[in-house]
Amino acid sequence: AVKQLWGDGDHMAEIDDMMSEQEAIRGEKAKGVCDLLRDKAVRWQLITLFLVASCMQLIGANVVYFYAYNIFMKAGIPPAQTHYVSLGLGTTEILSTVLCGILIERAGRKTLLWKNYTVMALALGLLTVTLFLQDSFFWVPYCSVALVFIFIMSFGVGPAGVICPLITEIFIQSYRPAAYVFNGMTNWIQLFILGLVFPFIVEGLGNFCFIIFLMYCLSMAIFVFLVLPETKGKTMLQVMEEFNRLNYRGKKR
């Protein structure tokens, strides 16, 4: 099956990892979402999944897309051509996600996450400033457009491209289906809530609404840098052992 999937070659290292993981779970059946929430053995994996996966909505990508039209108009782009710029924005996200697939094995998951979270926080901070000063200088709206593209590019290279493989790498096989279900539930519930409250946030804060998402990006950069173990080049058992140091901190395992 492995040869059919990956072609001819020496795949014994991957097969050994699979066998080691199979031996570690000792035939455990697939866990449900309730088991995932109750089991202390995956407590920090669950916390990591919740915080990192929440970025898909709480990181402010949808807010940037919401403001993009007004930013493009202020930059002097004709209304008839704004949809081409919006198309370029979506294309930038797709290409940056593809770039993430190229860089993820070289740079590592942790590095891509915390560095791009930091860049996104800086982009949102500067975007708040340029939106506040957009009528002061003729070149400020162009800076806003550039910051939008920088934000979307960092989002694609970082969280958008890393989260899916990360779930597979921090949970053993018996917990993975429940982890993906939990991730999907969290994503759609947060999208629903954000869709309800976002108009009130914009009405109340205006251009300063980006500060909320800036703080989340910055806090996630710190969390990933300090807590999340690097999964690059490690077996599932090695990653599980690093999380066990958090799950069983101060206890005899």
What confidence tens digit (pLDDT) does each residue in 53-80 have?
Answer: 777 777 777 777 777 777 777 667 777 7
CATH, residue 104: 1.20.1250.20
- Which pLDDT belongs to residue 3? 84
Residue 86 has pLDDT above 70, yes or no: yes
CA nearest to 131, candidates 184, 179, 186, 71: 71
Question: pTM (2 decimals)?
Answer: 0.80
CA nearest to 142, candidates 62, 61, 66, 85: 85
CA nearest to 213, candidates 48, 47, 65: 65
CA nearest to 198, candidates 51, 67, 83, 71: 67
- Which pLDDT belongs to residue 222? 92
> Among all chains, which residue has been given the structure tokens 């929430």?
37
How far apart CA 90 and CA 232 sit, in angstroms, is 29
How far apart CA 253 and CA 242 sit, in angstroms, is 13
Instruction: Provide the b/e sequence for 59-77 (b: ≥16 CB within 10 Å).
Output: bbbbbbeebbeebbebbeb
How far apart CA 72 and CA 86 sit, in angstroms, is 9
Residue 114 located in a structural domain: yes
CA nearest to 43, candidates 144, 155, 171: 171
Query: Is residue 200 exposed (0-12), middle (13-18) or buried (19+ Cβ within 10 Å)?
Result: exposed
- Which pLDDT belongs to residue 83? 77
Q: Which two tokens stand for residue 182?
A: 């939990």
Mean pLDDT is lowest, of 73-77, 92-96, 121-125, for 73-77
Contacts for 175 with CB less than 8 Å, ≥ 6 apart: 31, 35, 36, 39, 42, 45
Neighbours of 147 (CB within 10 A): 22
- Which pLDDT belongs to residue 7? 85
Q: Which domain holds residue 147?
A: 30-247
CA geometry: angle at 212 spanning 207 and 218, to 5°?
120
Residue 99 located in a structural domain: yes
Residue 25 located in a structural domain: no
- Which pLDDT belongs to residue 85? 79
How far apart CA 174 and CA 196 sit, in angstroms, is 35
CA nearest to 72, candidates 150, 152, 144, 130: 144
CA nearest to 54, candidates 197, 193, 198: 193
Residue 252 has pLDDT above 60, yes or no: no
Residue 23 located in a structural domain: no
Residue 122 has pLDDT above 90, yes or no: yes
Residue 205 has pLDDT above 90, yes or no: no
Residue 24 located in a structural domain: no
Residue 216 located in a structural domain: yes
Residue type for position 178: A
Q: What mean pLDDT comes out for the span 11-30?
A: 74
- Which pLDDT belongs to residue 118? 93
Residue 13 located in a structural domain: no
Neighbours of 164 (CB within 10 A): 11
Total number of domains in the chain: 1
Residue 43 located in a structural domain: yes
